[in-house]
Chain A
């Protein structure tokens, strides 16, 4: 892959994360958070998307993101109060951005959203806005505006700094070379902003003494995942008099490694902090030799502005001059710059500024208001994580599976050694076993992902459905950080979507109906994930009308699923919702109601070794509970033998085992064998017959297993070999689906054993001869 395509791919990956963050923050704000940090985070997310999109020429995305960003900016500036902001609109816009991103990713034409754009333009145009101070630059207090010279910093909150730096540089070049007004602003800082607006706020009247900081980070700053904004942000915002960025060390663009940091900063402070305290502020971000603290003897000047912007004769470079230099260097490289005549300096024209030096920036006014320590901790967490291709983890997992098999092979070999040799090796082998198991656990942990990846798609689903259905819904997410193996994550989206659709469509009433029933207009759906007994349990609870049992039962009768005079307990009626071909929606909608919903969900969930159940309380609501194993990569299995062949039955399916001799077997008229087990007539299947085992079988042990429908069956086998954790291997990858088996595994001797799927086995048995009576009765 060429480097640009690779960068682009990285950008889209980041977009996914940024979109998630954007939506999450907007959601929080919509739900009443008034934390300005949420606004800032949302702003940064959209800003980062815009920056990257500009770099990769996604013009529609840039255009939309720009307008979106501008309206979010009104919130940050206080021009629009957070309480008054149209977050519903913003959330729809974040969906639109997601659409644009995915269009750009797939190289599809983007859908224009003039309606949303027009609505966004309205934000901040209300009378309230006019009452606000007529400063033309609300962005004065934004990180974007704050640090013009530190190109990597402005918006790259979540992005790898190197890439963001490149993105900003490219965007800068592009912005200058494009006439499109929407993009004139795209360079990551607002060049239309009068410099006056940047005048620092720390005044001479402030108590404290003058301190000068010289910050000269090592070039690996970005690679340490630290941005200048973070460094500067750890200073008390109010103490900052001026910040100057020294670009003199920045090499020519053609030799610039964007992951190198060449920026130097001089910060004038008026502070009450001691030198030690200042040291402390940089503890997490800078090494001691990367900054100097100088106590200045000069008395503060009377007028704040000149002091703030005081030119520093011994620092020869101003931002404007330096950027000119950089851009001049860009000039002779048209292949990189794209346009030959690049105007220098996308920074405010110094002439317009009251002070001769343009770089005096009250950057830290914009620093997130979260306590510096929290932020530091967050940064550090970020710094110790790496992005790893899933493929690599899969390979690692595969290899670990191999080691597990080799190790159990070794154990079997060692057993046949003479005693004295065995004794010597046994301890080592034991240690190896333990370490292998640990290794496996750790690799599994690496693959674990929070369910957030799936959960965060749901708010959008709910929003869109709410609009289509004319319902008012609040979605509450809990336990988003619950971790499961990625194999399960991939399987969660479908059932969750169905469950939520079902709740939205069938469960929740319309606002009017709700009011009539004495409930709040707005329905609530809770999506909760938690770990319980080695499984992940996800529940979808709504406070709607519950399952309409009469209607469901009537329908089931009319379909012949339930006998006309058969009596069912209320709970049993509820379970009919999972029966095939039943849908109680009065009109078949395109949301749910095709009757293919819940039964398919149930089948899919059970094929993964999971369970789904429903609890309903008429008039109060309905709760779907989904329990899945934490991984599909390994399972706890019972190894059994029948004839010459060995099989694995998932422990989750096994209820108990017993000798067949102790249980009387009877034969029904059609030849189906049944046995009495705990007072129930349980059909008995002989594994050797069903699976066509080779060799002779005696089948004197019966395993009572549970089917998906919760019925019990007996499976006659020759021998129970043992119980062990097995690595699940796909049969479909190189062969195809095998009747009676869900997958295969490799046993200690290197041979393959099929992992039995009870339901599939029963279907296989039924297709071989007459369906057993029990199966007929079970139908539906």
Chain B
């Protein structure tokens, strides 16, 4: 990804007006973020029950206090293979549209406040064919890719790809 990003740097210690509060988490060495309001809770990895012939990034379903929700492997969704989940992996439980879902990531890093003005539109990347990245934020050290969660958990696009992979 060769991206031209602005010069403006800021730190999490300086919240500004009209800020977005973002939870950042890691998959491999990449940093992703979502609005803190979407996060319901963060829990350690827990075994899931696989669903037959689901999209590849659907790890399966688990029981969260009596509610059954699906867990999506973010690593698979961005095309980096399947996460070998261990006890140190983390499931970010999020509310997307009217559903609750789990997002399997490597670890949760931080909560940062980012001025709305600092969110840049996602560059038109061919590789992001499903529109998973909603925007980018440059932090001191990292580029945070803000996720469009609805696109991440949406079955359609990704499933087509998964099917294509299976067919191959």
Residue positions of A touching B, CB distance < 8 A: 398-399, 401-402, 405, 645, 690-692, 694, 729-731, 733-736, 738-741, 744, 746, 750-754, 764
* CB-nearest residue of chain A to B47: A751
Inter-chain contacts of A729 with B (CB < 8 A)? 63, 66-68
What's the Cα separation between A692 and B49 when bound, in Å? 12
A750 touches B63 (CB 8 A): yes
Is B83 on the interface with A (CB-CB < 8 A)? no
Is B100 on the interface with A (CB-CB < 8 A)? yes
What's the Cα separation between A753 and B51 when bound, in Å? 10
Is B65 on the interface with A (CB-CB < 8 A)? yes
A735 touches B53 (CB 8 A): no
Inter-chain contacts of A692 with B (CB < 8 A)? 50, 52-53
Q: Within the complex, which residue of B51, B62, B100, B155 is in contact with A754, where a contact is CB–CB below 8 Å?
A: B51
Question: A735 with B61: in contact, given A752-B68, A753-B49 (CB under 8 Å)?
Answer: yes
What's the Cα separation between A115 and B77 when bound, in Å? 64
Inter-chain contacts of A735 with B (CB < 8 A)? 51, 61, 68-70, 99, 101
B68 touches A402 (CB 8 A): no
* CB-nearest residue of chain A to B69: A734
A738 touches B67 (CB 8 A): no
B66 touches A691 (CB 8 A): no
Residue positions of B touching A, CB distance < 8 A: 47-54, 60-63, 65-70, 99-101, 155
5 closest residue pairs by CB, A with B: A735-B70, A752-B49, A734-B69, A691-B52, A402-B66
What's the Cα separation between A750 and B67 when bound, in Å? 11
* CB-nearest residue of chain B to A753: B49
Inter-chain contacts of B49 with A (CB < 8 A)? 645, 744, 751-754
What's the Cα separation between A750 and B100 when bound, in Å? 18
What's the Cα separation between A514 and B52 when bound, in Å? 55
A764 touches B69 (CB 8 A): no
A764 touches B63 (CB 8 A): no
Best-buried of B47, B49, B70, B99 by chain A (most CB within 10 Å): B49
B53 touches A733 (CB 8 A): no
A508 to chain B, nearest CB (A): 44
A733 touches B50 (CB 8 A): no
Inter-chain contacts of A740 with B (CB < 8 A)? 52
Which secondary structure dominates where chain B touches chain A? strand
What's the Cα separation between A728 and B47 when bound, in Å? 20
A746 touches B63 (CB 8 A): yes
What's the Cα separation between A292 and B101 when bound, in Å? 67
A354 to chain B, nearest CB (A): 69
Question: A402 with B69: in contact, given A692-B50, A754-B49 (CB under 8 Å)?
Answer: no
Question: A764 with B53: in contact, given A734-B99, A735-B61, A752-B48 (CB under 8 Å)?
Answer: yes
B70 touches A734 (CB 8 A): yes
B57 to chain A, nearest CB (A): 13
A729 to chain B, nearest CB (A): 5
Inter-chain contacts of B100 with A (CB < 8 A)? 734
Inter-chain contacts of A739 with B (CB < 8 A)? 52-53
* CB-nearest residue of chain B to A761: B52
Inter-chain contacts of A398 with B (CB < 8 A)? 66
* CB-nearest residue of chain A to B67: A734
What's the Cα separation between A736 and B60 when bound, in Å? 12
Inter-chain contacts of B63 with A (CB < 8 A)? 405, 729, 746, 750-752
B13 to chain A, nearest CB (A): 36
What's the Cα separation between A733 and B67 when bound, in Å? 9
What's the Cα separation between A733 and B68 when bound, in Å? 8
Inter-chain contacts of B99 with A (CB < 8 A)? 733-735
Inter-chain contacts of A694 with B (CB < 8 A)? 50
Inter-chain contacts of B155 with A (CB < 8 A)? 736
Inter-chain contacts of B48 with A (CB < 8 A)? 752
A741 touches B69 (CB 8 A): no
What's the Cα separation between A691 and B101 when bound, in Å? 22
Inter-chain contacts of B101 with A (CB < 8 A)? 734-735
Inter-chain contacts of B61 with A (CB < 8 A)? 731, 735, 744, 752
What's the Cα separation between A747 and B80 when bound, in Å? 32
What's the Cα separation between A753 and B47 when bound, in Å? 12
A737 to chain B, nearest CB (A): 10
Inter-chain contacts of A741 with B (CB < 8 A)? 51-52
Best-buried of A734, A738, A739, A740 by chain B (most CB within 10 Å): A734
Interface contacts beyond A399-B66, A402-B66, A734-B68: sample of 13 additional A-B pairs, CB < 8 Å, sorted by A: A691-B52, A729-B68, A733-B99, A735-B51, A736-B155, A740-B52, A741-B52, A746-B63, A746-B66, A751-B63, A752-B61, A753-B49, A754-B49
* CB-nearest residue of chain B to A727: B66
A731 touches B68 (CB 8 A): yes
Inter-chain contacts of A402 with B (CB < 8 A)? 65-66
23 A-B residue pairs with Cβ-Cβ distance under 8 Å, sorted by A, are A402-B65, A402-B66, A405-B63, A645-B50, A691-B52, A692-B53, A731-B61, A734-B69, A735-B68, A735-B69, A738-B52, A741-B51, A741-B52, A744-B49, A744-B61, A746-B68, A751-B47, A752-B49, A752-B63, A753-B49, A754-B49, A754-B52, A764-B52
* CB-nearest residue of chain B to A643: B50
Inter-chain contacts of B53 with A (CB < 8 A)? 692, 739, 764
Inter-chain contacts of B52 with A (CB < 8 A)? 690-692, 738-741, 754, 764
What's the Cα separation between A645 and B47 when bound, in Å? 11
* CB-nearest residue of chain B to A743: B68
Question: A738 with B54: in contact, given A645-B49, A751-B63, A754-B49 (CB under 8 Å)?
Answer: yes
Question: A752 with B70: in contact, given A645-B49, A692-B50, A738-B52 (CB under 8 Å)?
Answer: no
* CB-nearest residue of chain A to B58: A735
B117 to chain A, nearest CB (A): 35
B50 touches A744 (CB 8 A): no
What's the Cα separation between A736 and B100 when bound, in Å? 12
* CB-nearest residue of chain A to B153: A735
Inter-chain contacts of B47 with A (CB < 8 A)? 751
Question: A744 with B68: in contact, given A733-B99, A738-B52 (CB under 8 Å)?
Answer: yes
Inter-chain contacts of B70 with A (CB < 8 A)? 734-735
What's the Cα separation between A733 and B101 when bound, in Å? 10
Inter-chain contacts of A731 with B (CB < 8 A)? 61, 68
Inter-chain contacts of A754 with B (CB < 8 A)? 49, 51-52
